[in-house]
């Protein structure tokens, strides 16, 4: 990467010496044919100095002179417009010249350029200034895609904007809005600008009242004539970050930024939706795969931890838009192993963090860096995740996939030579999985009546989600259709008068769910070779695996159920399925107690 910079005094001296050299070479002449080559060499050197050196030196010195004037009293109609023309000339010379222009002008100088172009000066040519500002903004955007802007440029730009005095006709906030609209900046610049803007807000937190605007409005810039005055610069920045997972991850991996945005910063519905969408992308986006680079997985895990632990502190979660629920469900769903660990061993946590963790069921070799969740924060965000039908279905689908992998891993791990008691090993694994299922089931029903939904229907949907998608991936999950809405008072009345019925219903759900998990385990134990039931061909797929439960007809189910009983309860592997059922019933009991309380 080339460094860009110059020393004005030295450059002026160099210019003078170049002119002396040119004069000297111009006087070099001879008629002697033996000197022709020397004369030609001297002429070429002179032309190079005249046509390459001097124009470049003059451009740099010229821009420096304008920059000096820019930092002093700037007259928008003259110097600033000349500066934009100069910028256009620089851009014609190529990307390096364009970047050199902005590097020379600096972030603060660039901020000032746009502020002055937007001065509400009725005696000036407003339309021409606006056109020039758009040209300059496009050039700035192009420059941010190159490598040579100084590291501090974005910081200085935001600093220049917020430091600019609010005078009549000058509006730094509106200028910022203009800069963030209708243009596509380079990722590094955008992240650095967002970072700088957020830090500006954090720095001013002490002086702001709780409902003060984050960005003071001036008298309006002529540059933002076609924009909403109230457009929030942070919201616009988040809009520009859009679907860039790397950018979001870079931004939110900074602890101070993440804490402020997730826990403290006020947002309207659109803003909060964008923030959680970005957080989901950073923590659980498509590039967060097991084979991703360790640094990426670390940052994703940190963002997930910050998202859960800080978001839970927000005071406006009860009125959060549905997209927040879905983003929470997807984030928890992607990090279910971490959720599982914290459900098994809940702990309070002061700060977001990551930790390398393993679980016996996954075998001794598995140790991955995962987010750590505060116990209360995890409960709050889980409630949030299952608070909408789509969030509920999303988390259910993620859990199905996790359960499948968990059962397969545990079945395989139980066959290791060092596992002395496979049955005991599997019982422990089943108990652990039952704990997670029970935890999520309890939260699935917890808030249902608060939204006017029938809690038993929410639980029913949770069970249906498990049965309906036992062999399907997350992407194939159909979102359950919500049942008819019942008012909370009606729900309360119905439940209060039908406690026995409700409990019986829960028992039925538990049995059904236990059966589902039993089948799940049965399949995986069969695949791993732990058990060898004599299965008829009709219940098997062409590659020898058990077909999904919903595909089996009544007779086939009965055959499989008999074999399950024979091979798990009475066979060589002594698995206590009652433990599974107990875990679910225990969770349901909590749910029932919560409600009656």
Binding residues for another protein, per CB under 8 A?
2-7, 10-11, 13-14, 17-18, 20-21, 24-25, 28, 30, 32, 34-35, 37-38, 41-42, 44-46, 48-49, 52-53, 56-57, 60, 93, 96-97, 100
Residue 24 or 167 having the CB closest to another protein: 24
Closest CB 60 distance from another protein, rounded Å: 7
Phi, psi of 570 (to 5 degrees): -110, -5
Nearest distance, CB of residue 54 and another protein, angstroms = 10
Q: How far is residue 76's CA from residue 463's CA, in Å, rounded to a whole number?
A: 68
Cβ closest to another protein, residue 3 vs residue 356: 3
Task: At 368, give phi and psi (nearest 5°).
Answer: -125, 155
Shortest distance (Å) from residue 87 CB to another protein: 15
Per-position b or e across 148-186, b if 16+ CB within 10 A of its CB: bbbeebbbbbbbbbbebeeeebbbbbbbbbbbbbeeebb
Torsion sign (Cα): 462, 466, 467, 468: positive
Q: How far apart are CA 66 and CA 484, in angstroms?
A: 70
CB-count exposure of residue 542 (10 Å: 0-12, 13-18, 19+)? exposed
Query: Please, which residue, 35 or 85, has the CB nearer to another protein?
Result: 35
CB burial readout 250-264, b (16+ within 10 A) else e = bbbbbeebbbbbbee
CB of 1 to another protein, least distance (A): 11
Q: What CA–CA distances, in Å, run from 536 to 142, 246, 551, 554?
A: 66, 50, 15, 14
CB of 403 to another protein, least distance (A): 58
Q: Round to whole Å and give the CA distance between 214 and 268.
A: 13
Residue in 311, 313, 382, 314 with CA at minimum distance from that of residue 346: 382
Q: Quick one: which of 377, 338, 333, 343 has its CA closest to 355?
A: 338
Distance between first and last Cα of the chain: 66
Task: Supply the minimum distance, in Å, between the C-beta of residue 17 and another protein.
Answer: 6
- Smallest gap from Cβ 7 to another protein, in A, equals 5
Place of tokens 């439960």: 549
Residue 551 tokens read as 């595909």
Alpha carbon 67 to its chain's center: 39
The token pair at 446 is: 């917890």
At how many degrees (to 10) do helices 577-596 and 422-446 cross? Answer: 20
Decide whether 37 or 207 has the Cβ nearer to another protein: 37
Give 142 or 411: the residue with its C-beta nearer to another protein.
142
Q: Which two tokens stand for residue 466?
A: 């498990």
- Least distance CB 413 / another protein (angstroms): 59
Q: Report the residue number, 42 or 502, with the smaller CB distance to another protein.
A: 42
Closest CB to another protein among 28 and 260? Answer: 28
Minimum CB–partner distance for residue 110 and another protein (Å): 18
Closest contact distance (angstroms) between CB of 193 and another protein is 24
- Tokens representing residue 544 in the block: 């020898």
| Residue 145 C-beta: closest distance to another protein, Å | 16
CB nearer to another protein: pick between 59 and 547: 59
From residue 255, alpha-carbon distances to 235, 304, 393 in Å are 20, 12, 31
User: What's the closest the beta carbon of residue 188 comes to another protein, in angstroms?
Assistant: 19
CA torsion angle for 86, 188, 180, 284 (degrees, to 10)? 160
C-beta of 10 vs 476, nearer to another protein:
10
The nearer residue to another protein, 16 or 131, going by C-beta atoms, is: 16
Q: Would you say 7 or 316 has its CB closer to another protein?
A: 7
| 354 close to 305: Cβ distance less than 8 angstroms | yes
Please, which residue, 6 or 260, has the CB nearer to another protein? 6
């Amino acid at each position: 990467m080339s460094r860009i910079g110059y020393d004005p005094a030295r450059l002026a001296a160099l210019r003078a010496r170049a002119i002396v050299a040119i004069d000297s070479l111009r006087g070099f002449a001879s008629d002697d044919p033996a000197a022709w080559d020397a004369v030609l060499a001297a002429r070429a050197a002179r032309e190079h100095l005249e046509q390459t050196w001097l124009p470049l030196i003059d451009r740099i010195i010229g821009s420096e002179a304008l920059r000096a004037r820019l930092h002093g009293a700037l007259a928008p109609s003259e110097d600033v417009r000349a500066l934009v023309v100069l910028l256009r000339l620089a851009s014609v010379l190529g990307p390096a010249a364009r970047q050199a222009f902005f590097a020379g002008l600096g972030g603060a100088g660039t901020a000032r350029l746009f502020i002055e172009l937007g001065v509400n000066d009725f005696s000036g040519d407003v339309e021409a200034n606006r056109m020039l500002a758009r040209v300059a903004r496009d050039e700035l955007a192009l420059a941010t895609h190159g490598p040579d802007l100084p590291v501090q440029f974005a910081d200085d730009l935001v600093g220049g904007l917020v430091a600019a005095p609010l005078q009549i006709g000058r509006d730094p906030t509106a200028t910022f809005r203009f800069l963030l609209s209708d243009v596509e900046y380079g990722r590094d610049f955008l992240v650095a600008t967002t970072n700088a803007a957020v830090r500006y807000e954090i720095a001013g937190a002490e002086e702001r009242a709780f409902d003060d605007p984050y960005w003071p409005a001036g008298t309006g810039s002529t540059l933002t004539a076609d924009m909403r005055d109230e457009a929030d610069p942070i919201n616009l920045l988040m809009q520009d970050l859009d679907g860039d997972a790397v950018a979001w991850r870079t931004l939110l991996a900074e602890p101070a930024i993440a804490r402020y945005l997730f826990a403290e910063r006020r947002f309207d519905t659109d803003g909060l939706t964008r923030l959680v969408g970005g957080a989901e992308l950073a923590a659980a986006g498509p590039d967060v795969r097991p084979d991703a680079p360790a640094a990426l997985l670390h940052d994703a895990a940190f963002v997930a931890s910050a998202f859960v632990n800080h978001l839970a502190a927000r005071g406006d979660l009860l009125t959060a838009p549905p997209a927040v629920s879905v983003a929470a469900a997807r984030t928890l769903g992607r990090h279910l192993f971490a959720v599982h660990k914290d459900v098994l061993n809940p702990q309070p946590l002061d700060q977001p963090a990551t930790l390398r963790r393993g679980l016996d069921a996954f075998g001794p070799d598995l140790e991955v860096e995962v987010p750590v969740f505060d116990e209360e924060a995890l409960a709050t965000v889980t409630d949030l995740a299952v608070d909408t039908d789509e969030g509920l279905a999303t988390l259910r689908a993620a859990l199905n996939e996790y359960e499948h992998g968990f059962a397969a891993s545990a079945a395989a791990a139980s066959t290791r030579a060092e596992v002395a008691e496979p049955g005991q090993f599997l019982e422990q694994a089943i108990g652990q999985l039952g704990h997670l299922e029970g935890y999520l089931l309890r939260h699935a029903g917890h808030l249902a009546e608060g939204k006017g939904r029938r809690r038993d229907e929410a639980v029913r949907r949770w069970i249906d989600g498990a049965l309906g998608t036992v062999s399907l991936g997350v992407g194939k999950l159909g979102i359950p259709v919500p049942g008819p809405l019942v008012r909370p008072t009606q729900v309360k009345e119905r439940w209060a008068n039908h406690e026995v019925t409700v409990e019986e219903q829960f028992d039925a759900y538990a049995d059904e769910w236990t059966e589902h998990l039993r089948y799940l385990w049965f399949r995986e134990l069969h695949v791993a070779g732990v058990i060898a039931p004599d299965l008829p061909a009709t219940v098997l797929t062409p590659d020898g695996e058990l077909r999904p439960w919903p595909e089996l007809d009544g007779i086939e189910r009965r055959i499989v159920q008999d074999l399950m009983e024979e091979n798990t309860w009475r066979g060589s592997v002594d698995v206590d399925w009652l433990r599974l059922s107990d875990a679910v019933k225990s969770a349901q009991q909590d749910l029932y107690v919560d409600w009656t309380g």
